[in-house]
Structure 1
Amino acid sequence: MAGLIFRKTRARAPLRLGLAGGGTDLSPYCDQFGGAVLNVTIDRYAFASIIPRSDGRVCFISDDTGVEESFEVDEPLSAAKLLLHRGVYQRMMADFNGGKREPMTVRTTVDAPAGSGLGSSSALVVALVDALRVVLGAPLGPYDVARLAFEIERIDLALSGGRQDQYAAAFGGLNFIEFLREDRVIVNPLRVSDAISNEFECSLVTCFSGRSRQSAEIIDRQTMGLKTADARTVEAMDRLKYDAIEMKRALLVGSITRMAEIMNDSWKSKQATATGVSTARIDELFDVAMRSGAQSGKVSGAGGGGFMFFIVTPENRYTLMHALNEAGGQATPVKFVNRGSETWHL
């Protein structure tokens, strides 16, 4: 029987800044108490290309990490080093192609290093799922794509992490996302005026600390604290959820100053969820930022390294970026994007 016939297909899914509530999307906290996060997607992307092959092989390529591997189409894939590529390929073929594997090249690149704290791994999985959705004609909407990406990462591959990144990448934009019991997720796009959105965008600076981190260790410590009902961890998560709600309210009325106050409180709560959230390097850059006009700041993602971001008055943004770069950071402005994962043919 002839194999699947398809055209070269590409997809991209945006990375995100976790503004507030990160960690409350972890089990078992959201399963018991419900979680809430506020995030926004930015102009950094995970890209995936699905390219047909005629040689009966499956090839996984990650251009940004320099890994390339090739297998016979029916060969076991357990030796694959590119776990995300393997996980998505196997699940999509099982669920939407009757278990029949198709020869193809699965090629990716990401606009941020691994461990960035920008949700890059989950955005990559969303891009892969979305590209293969088109190739296989799978009837999946944004909620389905996000849920399937979550299952592949957290269940199939047993990788530690939460839920917000997949939904941010699938939907895009500025969202308040609720994670409720029985795996219910509600994505609430926030309608803010162009003036508020522009002012907030101009008030943000991101800074790569120069060190990627292994978020799994921090997430595992947070999860253990929740499983053992550690009072300090649960109380900190409650505060993070409250901060997400309050920051949403402040954003809707355009109070950037109030958002900065909430972010400072939220950063303290974040550090209380587990050891290792902050490091000496993060503390150093935070001190530099606060001395250079930043009103608040925090780490994006689980912590331990990766990207930080700061709220600053637009008049002081250049001064802040210069100071952070002089201190060895990699500071840049922020550009919001409103579109989630997109696919196209060539």
Structure 2
Amino acid sequence: MIITRSPLRISLGGGGTDLPSYYREHTGFLLAAAIDRHVHIVINRSILPEMILKYAQTERVTDVEQIQHPLVREAMKLVGTPAEGLEVAAMADIPAGTGLGSSGSFCTALLRGLHALHNGNPSAAEIAEQACHIEIDRLKEPVGKQDQFIAAVGGVTCFRFNPDGHVEYWPLRASSDTLRRLEHNLVLYFTGYTRSASEVLREQDTKTKAADSSMIDNLHFIKDLGYKSKDALEGGDLRGFAELMNVHWRSKKKRSGNMSNSRIDEWYELGIKSGGLGGKLIGAGGGGFLMFYTEDAEQLTAAMSRAGLQHVPFRFDFEGTRVVSGGTPSPALRPAIRRAA
């Protein structure tokens, strides 16, 4: 039995510039953090002449092409894993559709497990590239590369998305004290709304491909905020970073009328009035989690709880996608990288 896990993530600045429709022309940049809320994959060899796949649904198939879950089907085809005699189960600490990058976490955890099943040990970058290839190239989803890369590498990390598809990444160069205070003062509250990231991102993707000037200008501005957020954190200016969160959220809402709704706007204003120095909705928009930076988490959490929002505590995850149990991967059997074009 092989058990793997991948962290979910929060975006700290520059989100949305990781889509190919933007970075292929303009280069993207963002800052993200992996958190200790995970997607877990369990893979077990079975004597049955079929595959049993358990997630929100249960599938029993005898051939990979019969698998209905698109990420599982394409991951198994890419790695070359036959369906017969396998049990695969997926579990998550937080439901999908909540803006924390669950599909990227799911795909990287699954790929790590399938490679371990074949005694393979790809690097974190290879796992991320393969996950991007599955979602962007094979499944044609209008998503970016942030979720797959931050899940695979972990940490509080800067990413540059180059026009040729190559992704550069490096740890945020902030002091340990700044990272400790950032972790302590960032708080997440679940709005109760779930949504498909692909549906929300499709409008951005379509407008960017059409060279819509307002969308391109908005993403340029968001990318600049990503660099400013990096500089603020590396300089230890946490209050400055908090204000940039507010600017980011106001700018992000201009991308689409589906980015927010009246209740999310009310909760955001409540958070700012109740001790939040900065805040925004995490992920593509339309639902999921509100994140605030605060120096009075107790007061803020009390106010948000009275409004019906659930507080979800977290810490940063610096391990990335990893095998938790089982498997003895061999670097000598590392597969080739499938780079997203």
TM-score by length of 2: 0.92
Q: Please list the CA deviations of residues 224-280 of structure 1 after superposition, one character each: whole Å capped at 9, or x if unmatched.
A: 110111111111100110011010011012111110111111112211222211112
Aligned counterpart, 1:269: 251
- Specify whether residues 75 and 139 from structure 1 end up closer, same or farther in structure 2 by C-alpha distance, changes over 3 A only: closer
* 3-state DSSP of counterpart to 2:263: helix
Aligned counterpart, 2:261: 279
Over aligned residues, Cα RMSD in angstroms? 1.4
Aligned counterpart, 2:77: 90
Question: Given the alignment, which residue of 44, 48, 51 partners 1:51?
Answer: 44
- Structure 1 residue 49, shift from structure 2 partner: 0.8
The separation in 2 between residues aligned to 1:92 and 1:177, in whole angstroms, is 26
Aligned counterpart, 2:21: 28
- Structure 1 residue 55, shift from structure 2 partner: 1.4
Aligned counterpart, 1:325: 305
Task: State whether residues 37 and 94 of structure 2, in contact with CA within 8 Å, keep that contact through their aligned partners in structure 1.
Answer: yes
Aligned counterpart, 2:107: 125
Map 1:4-19 onto structure 2 (within 5 A).
Answer: 8-19=1-12
- Identity between Structure 1 and Structure 2 (%): 32
Q: Structure 2 stretches of 5 or more lacking a match? A: 327-341
- Specify whether residues 139 and 75 from structure 1 end up closer, same or farther in structure 2 by C-alpha distance, changes over 3 A only: closer
Aligned counterpart, 2:336: none
- Specify whether residues 202 and 157 from structure 1 end up closer, same or farther in structure 2 by C-alpha distance, changes over 3 A only: same
TM-score by length of 1: 0.91
**2:33 matches 1:40:** yes
Question: Given the alignment, which residue of 60, 67, 70 partners 2:60?
Answer: 70
* 3-state DSSP of counterpart to 2:51: strand
Equivalenced residues, count: 326
- Structure 1 residue 201, shift from structure 2 partner: 1.0
Task: State whether residues 280 and 290 of structure 2, in contact with CA within 8 Å, keep that contact through their aligned partners in structure 1.
Answer: yes
Aligned counterpart, 1:4: none
Task: State whether residues 4 and 321 of structure 2, in contact with CA within 8 Å, keep that contact through their aligned partners in structure 1.
Answer: yes
Task: State whether residues 61 and 107 of structure 1, in contact with CA within 8 Å, keep that contact through their aligned partners in structure 2.
Answer: yes
Q: Please list the CA deviations of residues 46-99 of structure 1 after superposition, one character each: whole Å capped at 9, or x if unmatched.
A: 10011001112111111xx2x111112x3741xx34222222222221xxx6xx
The separation in 2 between residues aligned to 1:22 and 1:121, in whole angstroms, is 16
- Specify whether residues 274 and 336 from structure 1 end up closer, same or farther in structure 2 by C-alpha distance, changes over 3 A only: same
Task: State whether residues 237 and 269 of structure 1, in contact with CA within 8 Å, keep that contact through their aligned partners in structure 2.
Answer: no
Question: Given the alignment, which residue of 150, 167, 171 partners 1:185?
Answer: 167
The separation in 2 between residues aligned to 1:267 and 1:253, in whole angstroms, is 22
**2:273 matches 1:291:** yes
The separation in 2 between residues aligned to 1:157 and 1:123, in whole angstroms, is 16
**2:137 matches 1:147:** no
Task: State whether residues 321 and 332 of structure 1, in contact with CA within 8 Å, keep that contact through their aligned partners in structure 2.
Answer: no
Q: Please list the CA deviations of residues 8-57 of structure 1 after superposition, one character each: whole Å capped at 9, or x if unmatched.
A: 11100000001111100012111000001100011100100110011121
- Structure 1 residue 120, shift from structure 2 partner: 0.8
Task: State whether residues 233 and 274 of structure 1, in contact with CA within 8 Å, keep that contact through their aligned partners in structure 2.
Answer: no
**2:197 matches 1:210:** no
Aligned counterpart, 1:345: 325
The separation in 1 between residues aligned to 2:214 and 2:305, in whole angstroms, is 35
Q: Structure 1 stretches of 5 or more lacking a match? A: 1-7
Task: State whether residues 10 and 48 of structure 1, in contact with CA within 8 Å, keep that contact through their aligned partners in structure 2.
Answer: yes
* 3-state DSSP of counterpart to 2:127: helix
Letter in 2 for 1:126: T
Aligned counterpart, 1:303: 285
- Structure 1 residue 102, shift from structure 2 partner: 4.5
**2:99 matches 1:110:** no
Aligned counterpart, 1:5: none
The separation in 1 between residues aligned to 2:167 and 2:282, in whole angstroms, is 21
* 3-state DSSP of counterpart to 2:312: strand
Letter in 2 for 1:258: G
Task: State whether residues 202 and 333 of structure 1, in contact with CA within 8 Å, keep that contact through their aligned partners in structure 2.
Answer: no
* 3-state DSSP of counterpart to 2:115: helix
